[in-house]
Structure 1
Amino acid sequence: MAAAEPVYSPTTVSETKSKKWLIVPTDNLDKVRCLIKVVEVLLSFVAFILEEVVTNCMSCSPLYFFEFVSCTAFLFTALLLILLATTLHKRVGISCWPSLDFVYTALMAAFFLIASIVFASDNGGTDLENAAVAFGFLATVAFLVDAGWFVKTRGFPFKKTNQQAASNGGAPVAEAEKLNREQNEAD
């Protein structure tokens, strides 16, 4: 038997997979927003740590609310950053990542602002509490900058467009260039 060549050989060139774990920019995250998200994670983490170090509280409810918001912001923003900066977001299968990212960022900005105002208005006045409040306000600014940059670069994600989708039962669109029978016969 002659040297058999494979009957079924690949017809396309296989794509070499990148061995990088963190790839920026991606479809959903550019370099500037990645940097802003890293700043959000760091500021949220510092606010959370400073709040955790507080040992005495006059009224603990604002402290606990600030703790909840700063911890949530830190953990979920870190998770969102990892999802957006890797190919994991494609595996999860959610097609509305930009809308989800924008809503999350805007909500975190609002919650951080409320938590920081409440904690600033009702705390013991210690240096640790004041520092935690300051980092809470800085994190609020970072989330607002992120939401603003998102709108500036990608537009508002829920904006209605005037373009109508093509439908099977609609009127046909007029042709831009009419066919001329005389010209076709001459060719």
Structure 2
Amino acid sequence: MTTTDVTPERPDRRAWLREHSELGVSVLLLALGALVLTDALTMDVEIAQRGPIGPKTVPVAVGIGLLVVALLLALDVLRGGRGEAESGEDVDLSEPADWRTVLLLAGVFLAAAVLIEPLGFPVTGALLFWGSAYALGSRHLDRDPLIAAVLSVVTYVIFNNLLGVPLPGGPLMGVL
């Protein structure tokens, strides 16, 4: 082989994956659709069905819809389609991820999951709303906890009292 011969270069796998990163969304939608469809088809329904539409209809339709969207998205990406950034989006893809914010949000959500039973939704919701605002950059320490508390109590009252969705009340169970 001489120096003038050009050998075809093996395509870089990372570059190909970077160019087709939307396939990750497709895989996620495919897995979610399979999960929803499997759960819907194995659902044990004890209610007598009145008419053609039963309790399995909507979950099956959603599962099939997720599978179809996943396949169409994968086909589009493999044919060269790319998602367009919104004109108002100001994300610089050359910058590294902000792991501090991601970890703060993950910690707030984990704390909320652990604290919701002993403290109830109003207190835990306030901590969740305030912690999320803080993690995302708000530094109004006088205003944010108050807004979070009001938002949490209003959400609790709407869901628990008006919509009939029982939420754990915690120490405030008798007050609200």
Q: Which has the larger radius of gyration?
A: 1
**TM superposition score category, shorter chain reference:** 0.3 to 0.5
By relative contact order (CA 8 Å, sep 6+), the higher-ranking structure is: 1
TM-score for the superposition, normalised by structure 1 = 0.31
TM-score for the superposition, normalised by structure 2 = 0.32
